[in-house]
Amino acid sequence: MPTDLELLARLALAAVLGGAVGAERELSDQPAGLRTHMLLTIGACLFTLVSAYGFEGPGDPARIAAQIVTGIGFLGGGAILRHGASIRGLTTAASIWASAALGVAVGAGRYVLALGATVLVLATLVGLRAFRNVLRHRASSREEFSLLVGPGFSASKLTDLAHKEKIGLRGLERTQNGDGGRVQVVVKLPPRYDAERFLEALTELEGVREVEWER
């Protein structure tokens, strides 16, 4: 059985690996950031250690690991949010799930596996971002715009604009208030279409006061 110092070292390593993933999410301004991911990996690692070494007699550490997977599913689901007409947080939910797996791997003493998995997770979150942008430039891209509108705005004019620009309208949600309201628009842009071009066209629509591009 490992010594207490070695078990504490495993917890520390789990915190470092979870912090590496959480730092990327923190820099991306996601709701689950550095502290959340560190707590996840520490907790998953501790559960694994207690399951493997905390009870006398024969046991089955795999049972605790299976429960960790189930429990993290609920936590990850809380990171998925509906924002206007789109869904956000799927990548963060996946990183939460992966961070729990890192904690389990460290708790089981699979250091090389945990380190390698951390590198792959960070490469996926950071390294593939540029590749994703290239794909979006060459293929159809899905974008969301938030419009602050006032009197005179007509959804039909927005629809006509999208048809004129050969843009697919995927979602349109309007929230009313005293001054007019806000409109969330989700569109599918044609390949090589400059999103800023559509942004400028939206600002010129009658009744549109302000446009935000939800990148």
Q: Tens digit of pLDDT for each residue in 17-38?
A: 999 988 888 887 776 788 888 9
pTM: 0.60
Query: Which helix H or strand E contains 173, and what residues bound it?
Result: strand 168-177
Structural domain spans, the chain = 4-136, 141-214
- What is the distance between the alpha carbons of residues 136 and 142, in angstroms, rounded to a whole number? 8
Residues 76 and 96: beta-carbon distance below 8 Å? yes
Q: Do residues 207 and 198 lie in contact, with contact meaning Cβ atoms separated by under 8 Å?
A: no
The model's pLDDT over 65-98, given as tens digits with 9 standing for 90+, comes to 777 877 777 776 766 666 554 566 778 888 888 8
pLDDT of residue 73: 73
CATH 3.30.70.260, domain 141-214, yes or no: yes
Using the predicted structure, report yes or no on whether residue 13 has a pLDDT greater than 90.
Answer: yes
Radius of gyration of the chain (CA): 23
Q: Model confidence at 12, in pLDDT bands (50, 70, 90)?
A: very high
42-50: average pLDDT: 89
Helix, strand, coil fractions of the chain, as percent rounded to 5? 60, 20, 20
